[in-house]
Amino acid sequence: MLSRDLTNIMAFTWEAMGLLDRTLRRVKREAILLPIEQKLEAALEEAFFRQGEVYVSMLKELKPWFPVEQIKEAYIPTGLSDAALLALWEAVTAWTWYFFEEPMNAAAVASMLAGKAVAIAELEWTGSFTLGFDEGLLNQIPALTKMQLHSINRTTQGYINTQIRHAMEEGWSYDRTAKAISTRFEEFAIGKPQLHIQSRAHLVAVTETGNLYVEANMQTARTIQDMGLPIEKYWANAGDDRVSDGCLANTAVGYIPLNDKFPSGHMQPLRFPGCRCDIYTRRAK
């Protein structure tokens, strides 16, 4: 009887210690990434505002396509051609690319170096990494930023083209259309607060920093494992009622070998934009 009670106490103690450890790790991650996220979000807010200003300014060149306010009831919509809208958007992105790229690159550097440092600390690694590892880590950033920025711009282009076509179909004047577009870019920047994601600027900041932090963590763990130290990984979710079923299922399997996939088919977080999950690593038991 005493032996069974002792076993139960020990099991409960280990479970409690594991919960405490995961909580401390979550707090540590937030303390590391939150300042990076906030700085990037503020920069992206400014970038979306500027992009909106440039778009509305360049849209004036197409003003003759819009009806005059006084005669809009007699206006027959002809619409702007896809070629005209594409040329407009390409000019806008060319003028505003740097406003996004520079802060995204800076946040990527900070996130990846943080992910590497956390992995080394978690795995209690006392060996050294060559300069080539850091160079390899950071050399990925320009290409990753470019790819992500193209994705952001494609999404923005889709939203704005939809707004333009709606305006043309409804016979809106240029002034009314320009105001609607400015409002749309303002929503990209500061948004309409909803749950844990407030705006596109916030969404991009959370996704970019989280993805690169985890990626650097995993690359570091793989490098250490290649040196002869078997490693396990754990899918840590945010621990609240907004966690998706897929992320809960990944967490439920506990620690798995580093090279295995989680039930969702992913090797690591994030599963989707705005995912708040993290990866924990440890030496294999």
**Beta bridge mates, 197:** 194
User: What's the whole-model pTM score?
Assistant: 0.83
Residue with tokens 């690591």: 268
Q: Which helix (H) or strand (E) holds 221?
A: helix 200-226
74 vs 130, 168, 170, 182, 197, CA distance in Å? 71, 13, 11, 26, 43
- Residue 102: how many CB atoms within 10 A of its CB? 13
Provide the Cα torsion 102, 204, 252, 17; round to 10°. 60
pLDDT in tens, 25-75: 777 788 889 999 999 999 999 999 999 999 999 998 888 777 665 455 555
pLDDT in tens, 220-261: 999 999 999 999 999 999 888 889 999 999 999 999 999 999
Tell me the torsion sign for CA atoms 181, 184, 190, 192: positive
Residue 192 or residue 119, greater confidence: 119
CA distance 235 to 67: 55
Predicted local distance difference test score (pLDDT) of residue 167: 86
**CB contact at 8 A, 99 and 46:** yes
Does residue 172 surpass a pLDDT of 90?
no
Burial 6-25 (b: 16+ CB within 10 A, else e): eeeeeeeeeeeeeeeebeeb
Going from N- to C-terminal start, the domains of the chain cover: 230-285
Does residue 14 surpass a pLDDT of 50?
no
Residue 23 or residue 13, greater confidence: 23
